[in-house]
Amino acid sequence: MQQIHREAMAGRTVLISGGTAGIGRATALGLAAMGAHLAIIGRDRGRTDHAAREIRAAGGGQVDVFVADLSSQAQVRHLADELLHNVPRIHVLINNVGGYWNTRHLTADRLERTFALNHLAAFLLTNLLLDRLRQNGPSRVVTVSSNAHATGRIDFDDLQCERSYSGTRAYNQSKLANILFTYELARRLQATSVTANALHPGVTSTTFGAEDPSRAQRLFVPLMRPFMKTPARGAVTSIHLASAPDLAQVTGQYFTNSKPKRSSKRSYDEAAAARLWRVSADLVGLSAAPTTA
């Protein structure tokens, strides 16, 4: 595990979605120990306040709390307004929130929940905060994907899994979308001081998927848990991408175990990435115009 330097992130503000438990909470703890000012986003007020108290008690400094269900576009927009009003500087945005559902669920926007939370929430929040990130450059966008993207495919004819639903297929599609989004964002931000990278945290022991687990999860996860990473170890690559000085100008890369790695062949399809950007912009009501300085 990488060595943590107490003041390495002093003066830097880091925003983490899904920062109340698992990898997100461990990422917040690690960056707080490096002197960062944290802003954590959670869905539940009580859990988010509790996580903030834990981070402060562990030696973290300032920890701001924001509450939003990021599967709802209205709540993402309200959150962005709150952040822009209350957090004058954002140096790192970590798109960490994500989920898995064995059965098909719809959001308040009548979108399939996996695609809405795992991809569209990051797409919308990042775009709404880009001006603030540019103003405080050099800054970074870090998006938590998964090696599950390697078996993912973007089905533009059925993005919402209306014809047939599989929790695994929906999840893998969303994780491929994370990487396509990251690479396209990096291309659009080439002339700026904002970098964009994605990562695989490793198979980590958390409550991920517990809300609506598959039969295989219920059977095999308890058996696999002793061999999984702890949340602290699962957070190492996120912390590295958020803080490592030698990554200040590295962009458009995929990392695992804190090292760059080739992602799947489909993830480098620039035409698919550009199309996904346009479709995503339409779904969240944003202009698909290039994101330039």
Q: Catalytic residue among 100, 165, 171, 183, which?
A: 171
Does residue 245 have a cis peptide bond before it, meaning omega lies within 30 degrees of 0? no
Question: Looking only at Cα atoms, what is the longest distance across the chain?
Answer: 51
Per DSSP bridges, beta strands 253-256 and 259-260 are antiparallel
Helix (H, G, I), strand (E, B) or coil at 277: helix
The pair of three-digit structure tokens given for residue 211, joined into one six-digit string: 């809300």
**CB 190: neighbour CB atoms within 10 A?**
12
What separation, in Å, do the N-terminal and C-terminal C-alpha atoms of the chain show? 36
Residues 118, 97: Cα–Cα separation, whole Å: 7
Q: Is 171 part of the annotated catalytic residue set?
A: yes
Query: DSSP string of 155-196?
Result: -TT-TT--S---HHHHHHHHHHHHHHHHHHHHHHTTTSSEEE
The pair of three-digit structure tokens given for residue 258, joined into one six-digit string: 């804190």
Q: Which of 91, 126, 97 is nearest to 14 (CA)?
A: 91
In the numeric block, the tokens 């450059």 are attached to: 137
Q: Which of 99, 105, 104, 41 is nearest to 75 (CA)?
A: 41
- Give the residue numbers annotated as catalytic, written as ranges: 171
